[in-house]
Amino acid sequence: MNLTFLGTSAGCPTAERNVSAIILDLLQERGRLWLFDCGEATQMQMQKAKFSLAKLELICLTHLHGDHLFGLPGVLTSRSLMQNQSAVTLIAPKGIKQFIETVTSVSYSWLTYPLNIIELEQDGMVFEDEQFCIEVKQLQHRVPCFGYRIIEKDRPPSLMIDKLKQDNINIGPLYAQLKQGKAVTLDDGRVINGLDYLGKVKPGRKLAILGDTIPCQASIELAKDTDVMVHEATQENALQDTALDRGHSTTVQAATIAKQAHAKRLIITHISPRYSLQDSTKLVNEAKTVFANTEIACDLATFQV
């Protein structure tokens, strides 16, 4: 499970940063990609990062401001140029359905695959299958904005192959039964218990991707005990009043949320265009004064969860 930041700028793109978009790479876990926010030129950034539109399964938007939204029509319609595409689920605040219907209508575009739209109006669980679940809570921004908590369910234990070999057990036809922890009888008459050859349950990973917001309790709850927390840090702390007026957070405020949530790791993004990449060290070091395990994202950077 990896996070690749396709865009890390706030408001508008710069020569160094595109606007907001993050890929959650689940190719190893489920052969699919999940996209969080979709600022303009997201599909170009996906090409640079060598991600295929065909692998998109889920698109989640935090809110409907243009720097998080304007790349969506291109992503959806370009995907329609590919043959036999699978369905995509789009989760976003209320209004996204009207946006999609309007932009496809006036541009004479169409989609060749099912687009399942879930409009957010309240907190709750918005996705769940045998591997993952996603919870949303409304944050505090100038427009309705939601944060996402992605939970990987505990992974079943794997068979201890080395121990089986040590005990001269050929697992070929017995693999499935042993993996289920069942007792089986071997050809030589031995009866073995599959539970004796199973490793430990692998705890699922937890991730929070938070949209534009001032510091709020919902952010703390979504990020509680997460392995990785992604939080906006639009301004340096000296510009706290400016950030508050525009519904944003500072480096120190993001770090404070991570500390209060007992997150293991913080990645800050959504950086104001006033800062160049040369300012990254200053910004991340400011956050580290509160939360030591802080990193700052730049475009096309990948972080393992």
- Of 247, 234, 221, 248, which is closest to residue 287 (Cα–Cα)? 234
Q: Which of 25, 37, 67, 212 is catalytic?
A: 67
Rounded Cα distance between 95 and 63, Å, is 10
Rounded to a whole number, what is the distance in angstroms from the first to the last CA of the chain?
6
Residue 158 DSSP class: P
Instruction: Please list the residues that pair with 118 across neighbouring strands.
Output: 91
Q: How many other β-carbons are positioned within 10 Å of the β-carbon of residue 179?
A: 16
Taking the CA atoms of 17, 22, 27 and 32 in sequence, report the sign of the dihedral they define.
Answer: negative
Contact 38, 68 (CB under 8 A): yes
* Region of 189 on the Ramachandran plot (φ > 0 left; ψ -120 to 50 alpha; else beta): left
Tokens linked to 246: 């525009």
The amino acid at residue 269 is T
Q: Give one DSSP letter per residue of 206-230, joined into a string.
A: EEEE--S--S-HHHHHHHTT-SEEE
DSSP state of 143: S
Q: How far is 65 from 58, CA to CA, in rounded Å?
A: 19
Show the tokens assigned to 96. 């996204």
DSSP state of 291: -
Respond yes or no: is residue 67 known to be catalytic: yes
**What region, left, alpha or beta, does residue 11 occupy, with left being phi > 0 and alpha being psi -120 to 50 degrees?**
left
Residue whose token pair is 């996209």: 35
* Enzyme catalytic residues: 67
